[in-house]
Amino acid sequence: MSTLDLIEQIRSSSRLMVRELGFMNATLAATDYSPSAVHSLLEIDSRGAMTATQLAQLLGLEKSSVSRMLTRLLAAGELAEKPSAEDARVRLLRLTGQGKATVGRINEYGARRVMEALQQLNAAQQQQAAQGLTAWAQALERCRTGEKAAIPAPEIITGFVPGAIGRIAAMHGRYYAENHGFGTYFEAKVASGLAEFATRVDNERNHIWLAVCGGNIVGSVAIDGEDLGDNQAHLRWFILDESCRGTGIGKKLLDAAVAFCDQQKFASTQLWTFKGLDAARRLYEYYGFSLAKEWQGDQWGKRITEQQFTRYGNGQ
């Protein structure tokens, strides 16, 4: 999916959520209050007490708008305003007994709506929805506050983990379909090759490395020391998720793979690719691979200029 398509999909989904959650209505969550008033009651409840200034900053609203809304809530008996014990000049907003009862009804209504929606999804989709909404809400908040995201660095682990075959095949399938027009034949070939390799990965001449970030596989590379014979290694399934391209994680994966080849004293390491993958080619050449052959072929289901790169033992 292109960036423009992604933007339009998110905008369209956001509009739908606004409508379905009731934010187009004058009142919200089965109350007589506006969305901003409902939000205020929930935030004051979660924090115990807060000032009007703090609430305005939290909601991202003008102080005058917050002041008018709080005046209505105070008059309705939902809130009480009392001096702070630390500084009598500071006025703290707290829920009254009536306000706590109102928040209870709001929470009950909200939980019911969420539960009804969750029932439309399977378990995996439920987790994806929760994680995606959390990440998106935090990203929007950082845009408003100017805070930079603390992006965890991917961790390099060795060996297959549950779901690795499907995830690596999916990364290959999606990237090469979107950027080079490959189809299901290619993805199926990747998946079947990985499945076969998984049955013999415990051989000391074979290895696979995964880049994992936040529990998700975002990159991979493997050395197959058996399939070519003649003391040759085969570098396979080098792929990075779009989220981590340009972060240096690809170099870390190849560091591990090349070090393994040198440790095992392979006479040479071979890899097969095709013309046009310039960023990957620069990485291969950095590690001592050089173009050995080039021809027109269709082993991946599409006629392209295929290439074979070779790296001799210890980079010589």
pLDDT (tens digit per residue) in 13-27 = 999 988 888 888 888
CB atoms within 10 A of CB 41: 23
pLDDT attached to residue 315: 46
- pLDDT of 83 strictly over 60: yes
Q: Which residues of 283-294 are buried (b: 16+ CB within 10 A; e: fewer)?
A: bbeebbbeeeee
Average pLDDT over residues 72-95: 87
Rounded distance between C-alpha atoms, residue 134 and residue 129, angstroms: 8
24-44 pLDDT, tens per residue? 888 888 888 899 999 999 999
Average pLDDT over residues 246-253: 86
The Cα-based distances of 259 to 78, 255, 264, 313 in angstroms read 66, 6, 9, 11
pLDDT attached to residue 210: 96
pLDDT attached to residue 150: 62
Closest CA to 308 of 281, 278, 279, 286: 281
Determine the 3-state secondary structure of 309 from DSSP: strand
pLDDT attached to residue 300: 80
Rounded CA Rg of the chain: 28
What is the pTM for the complete model shown? Answer: 0.58
pLDDT attached to residue 154: 82
* Mean per-residue pLDDT over the chain, rounded: 89
Sign of the C-alpha dihedral computed for residues 130, 136, 142 and 148 taken in this order: positive
